[in-house]
Structure 1
Amino acid sequence: MAIEIERKYLLEAYPEDLISEGTIVVEKEQFIEQTYLALDGDQELRVRKITDLKSGQVEFTHTFKNGWGIAREEIEFAISEGLYDQVVKAHGAIPLTKRRVTARLGNTIIEIDDYAQIHMLVLEVEFPSMEAADGFVPPAWFGQDISTEKQYSNKKVWRDLQQQAGRES
C-alpha cells in the first residue's frame, strides 16, 4: 500500500495576483465530484469523477485510505463510468464538489481546492517523505496549517453535507 504524505493549509483568498504575475504557474484545472461509500474510524472508501476543465476528459477513480493526519495509506485505481454511476446511484448521496487547480510554485507542486458548497479554499502540498513534510516552511499566504484538524477533512465535510440534506451518512 502506498503512503500519501501531505500538508494542508486553509487559504484566506484565491492567489490571483501570484498567478497573474507568474509566481504560481497553473498546470491543470479539474472539477471533482467525490462520494464516500464507507467510513469506519480512520478508514474510508470513496469514488471520484474528475473532469479536466481544459480538455473535457473525464476519469473515474476508486480510493481506499487508512490513517489520519499527514501520512496515510492510500490505494487508488481507475474504474469505469458505468461502475461509478452504479455505486453513486445505489448510495444516493450528495457528492462533495471542488474545483482543483494544480500548479507550480517554484519547485513545489501545489493543489488548490475550491469547495463552492461550503465556501472553503484549501491548499495541499504532497511530499516524498515525512522528513520533507516536517522540514517544509510554507509562505505566510498559505494560511493556517490544517493537516491534522479533522473538522477540515473531506470526509467530515461530506458527512456534514449529507446531514444538511437530511441523509444518513
Structure 2
Amino acid sequence: MTASPTPPSSPPSAPSVPVPGRRGSSGWMVPVVAAVVGIVAGAGIGWLLWSGPDSAASGTGVEEAAADAAGACQAWQRVPEFGALHSGGKEDTAWIHFNRALSAAYLARTAAELDGGYQDLSEALQEIEMRLKTFDIKGTEAKAAHEKVSSLCAGLDG
C-alpha cells in the first residue's frame, strides 16, 4: 500500500476579491508618480523660459555659436586633402573623413544661424559638403575649396 500525501494543516484560503470602487494597496503610486513627474517637468520648462534665449540652458547664444564654429574647425583639421581621400587606401577611413567633413559643415551651419559672423565658414563648408556628396573632389577647384575652409578656420584660431 502506498502512502497518501498528508492533508494541509489549514484549508486553502480563497483568493481575495477586489471590492468595486476601492483601489488595491498600490493604487496610490500612480497618482503620486504622475504628480512628481509633472512638477519636475514644469520646473524644468519654467527654468528654461526664465533663463532667456541667450543662456547656456537654451544653447543659442553667441558663445554657443563660437563653440560650434570651433568644433567645425576641429573636425575639419582631421580631414585630409581631397587627393588623399580619392587616392585609395582603406574605404572605411575615407568614410570616416567624409563623415567628419559633413559634421563640420553641419556645425558651421548652426554657428552661422546663431551668429552671422560665421556665414563665410558655413558657405565654404556647404560647398565642401556638396562636393563630397557628388564625388567632385578632384581638380583645382576642389583643392581651392579645401584650402578656403582651412584658411577660414586658421582665421578663427588667430
Q: TM-score, normalised by structure 2?
A: 0.26
Of structures 1 and 2, the one with the larger relative CO (CA 8 A, separation 6+) is 1
Q: Tell me the TM-score normalized by structure 1.
A: 0.24
